[in-house]
Structure 1
Amino acid sequence: MFDPIDFPKPTLVSVNGITLEVFEAGRENVGRPIVLCHGWPEHAFSWRYQIPALVSAGYHVIVPNQRGYGNSSRPTEVTDYDIEHLTGDLVALLDHYGYQNATFVGHDWGAMVVWNLALLHPKCINKVINLSLPYQERGPIPWIAFMEQFFGGDNYFVHFNRQPGVADAVLDENTFQFLRNLYRKNVPQSEPEPGMVMINLARAEQASGMPIMSDSELAVFVKAFESTGFSGSINWYRNLDRNWQLLEAVNPIIEHPTLMIYGDRDVIPKFEKLTEFVPNADVISLDCGHWIQQEKPEQTNHAILEWLRKQTTS
């Protein structure tokens, strides 16, 4: 297991009208930037196993806690978490370090931001690597309305939007229990319980499956969310329909060289039409669940580094 003491020390960087807490490593490799973007409810620390491997491979590694997380700014306006703001933060972060473009790696919600960065600011990315969350097709119906129609009001995306503040309060009251119960692997198959899954997890006294991290690793996440609460991070979900509107006139095709890494046991389905929207995508699947880079760090590192090596030699 990883010792949190070994994680890079943060710096606070002013970008795009806010402050981001950024963890940086490999400055000796200036000129080869790679930016790692975490998901929900995560933290830059979720990339702890990738940072040293990337530095050893010659990369300047930049890992922000994105807005709403850790010691980064947490604006109070919900619309300050829309996709224009989230991608704008990354564009400004590149500018801060003096880079015109970089390789961007995203997991979960971080992948959503990276996909949209490629759409909205294509010149800022030279390569895309995304984990867990594939490209999301913009259909004729706004995303939350679509999910409500198909999955009902208890779907947590829908619940976050239709009942603002309700889940936030439950997660805030049960931070340790929620994160302990969420970060698991090899969870037995079972019928879904009635109610909203994230609230159920926060209230469950017993955890299923096996932990994916040590107590000291989990404590990093728990301490961060006990400090910030969950509302800032959940506000990302509350902009899905706004994002759908903002993307209306955007060309949906991503031409960048792309690596998509799936977890075969992830609840997020694979996107069969991926290469229709991302024609230069390579796809890899690992035998794991949703928390890919934390569940299978060595395999994840190998997949990323091998793919990057092929891109530079081809």
Structure 2
Amino acid sequence: MTGFGPHHVVMIDFPEPTVVSVNGVELEVFEAGRENAGRPIVLCHGWPELAQSWRHQVPALAAAGHHVIVPNQRGYGRSSRPDDVTAYDIAHLSGDLVALLDHYGYADATFVGHDWGAFVVWGLALLHPGRVNAVINLSLPYQERGERPWIEVMEEFLGGDFYFVHFNRQPGVADAVLDANTSRFLRNLYRKNLPPAPPQPGMVMIDLARAETPLGEPVLSDDELDLFAATFASTGFTGGINWYRNLDRNWRLLAGVDPVIAQPALMIYGDRDTIAPSERLATFVPDVEVVTLDCGHWIPQERPAETNAAILSWLGRRSPSY
């Protein structure tokens, strides 16, 4: 596809997008396997990712007989980026996905999420359970709601420099640093096989944006990095960061909701991910199967073949027709 910027053209093998009006916004949506209508699977990226983060999964899922639907969610790519911070809460983000199903004429679908996309998929399954027939999430397990808002708890235990807290308490500060160092930040963030190191003081995302030398090995090819960098150079990072700025609002929005995920679920962890597995996952997701792959945080991009095999195997066992 063509990248952003007047002289910046990047080609990676990915479907051409369409722009779909849903839920008061426009979403840039990529599709594959339209001939498999009736078997939808929706892939939901995280931060700071794009629909193209699923480039290794899309052809495999389409070949396996699925109608694959991959939005750039609100705040990303050519999708709408509302100015109002509260436009990025779980009600809006899950509402976009429900409206996307309505657009394609589907009562329900299988939803796949990575990182923040996983948070949205968990929330979607809680808020709109009838629209989700199965959940496949990577990296971020179900987040137990607890008695106090999430950011408040993180601030107490992890401090004001923890990036979730910093994004909330110092709006605009990190956004500006990331926007000023887009390519370097993404180059330094999308790494694998990192050397073990104790956590450093300071705000990790700002430090990554300013670091001269990346650690470990790249996850993205040069062309892929160019595409991500050109896209975020065009959009900035604020839309995606606004997802973080709704965590406590989400905590309040989920107050009256049954916290148990009723759908069958597959949880895929990376054993070197900085996000820890949940010890109580099965309490809230009773019909869950867990797979752990030898990788870091960027699971579908670090271990594409193993990720695809885990997803397709699980789907096949959940429904013999797969």
Question: What's the TM-score, normalizing by structure 1?
Answer: 0.98
Q: Equivalent residue of 1:171, what SS? A: helix
> Could you say which residue in structure 2 is the equivalent of 1:266?
273
> Could you say which residue in structure 1 is the equivalent of 2:230?
223
Q: Which amino acid aligns with 2:144?
A: E
CA distance in 2, matches of 1:197, 1:4: 31
The match for 1:14 among 9, 14, 21 is 21
Cα deviation 1:212-231 (Å, max 9, x = unaligned): 12100111111110000000
CA deviation after TM superposition for structure 1 residue 313, in Å: 2.1
Instruction: List aligned pairs for 1:46-57, cutoff 5 A.
Output: 46-57=53-64
CA distance in 2, matches of 1:272, 1:202: 32
Instruction: List aligned pairs for 1:1-314, cutoff 5 A.
Output: 4-313=11-320
Cα deviation 1:149-198 (Å, max 9, x = unaligned): 00000000000000000000000000000000000001111232221000
**4+ residue runs over 6 A deviation:** none
Q: Equivalent residue of 1:149, what SS? A: helix
CA distance in 1, matches of 2:165, 2:245: 9
Cα deviation 1:253-293 (Å, max 9, x = unaligned): 00101000000000000001000000000000000000000
* Gap change, CA 1:10 and 1:217, over 3 Å in 2: same
CA deviation after TM superposition for structure 1 residue 311, in Å: 0.5
Structure 1 regions of 5+ residues with no counterpart?
Answer: none
Q: Equivalent residue of 2:319, what SS? A: helix
Q: Equivalent residue of 1:202, what SS? A: helix
Cα deviation 1:41-89 (Å, max 9, x = unaligned): 0000000000000010000000000000000000000000000000000
2:75–2:81 contact (8 Å) kept in structure 1:
yes
Q: Which amino acid aligns with 2:33?
A: G
Cα deviation 1:14-57 (Å, max 9, x = unaligned): 00000000000100000000000000000000000000000100
Q: Report the RMSD for the aligned CA atoms in angstroms.
A: 0.9
CA distance in 1, matches of 2:33, 2:11: 18
* Gap change, CA 1:46 and 1:4, over 3 Å in 2: farther
Q: Which amino acid aligns with 1:36?
A: L
Number of residue pairs matched by the alignment? 312
2:15–2:31 contact (8 Å) kept in structure 1:
yes
Question: What's the TM-score, normalizing by structure 2?
Answer: 0.96
> Could you say which residue in structure 1 is the equivalent of 2:5?
none
Q: Which amino acid aligns with 1:291?
A: W
CA distance in 2, matches of 1:89, 1:269: 28
CA distance in 2, matches of 1:190, 1:171: 23
CA distance in 2, matches of 1:241, 1:70: 25
The sequence identity of aligned pairs, in percent, is 71
Cα deviation 1:199-247 (Å, max 9, x = unaligned): 0000001000000121001111111100000001000000000000000
CA deviation after TM superposition for structure 1 residue 4, in Å: 4.1
CA distance in 1, matches of 2:32, 2:198: 43
Q: Which amino acid aligns with 1:306?
A: S
CA distance in 2, matches of 1:199, 1:5: 28
Q: Equivalent residue of 2:31, what SS? A: strand
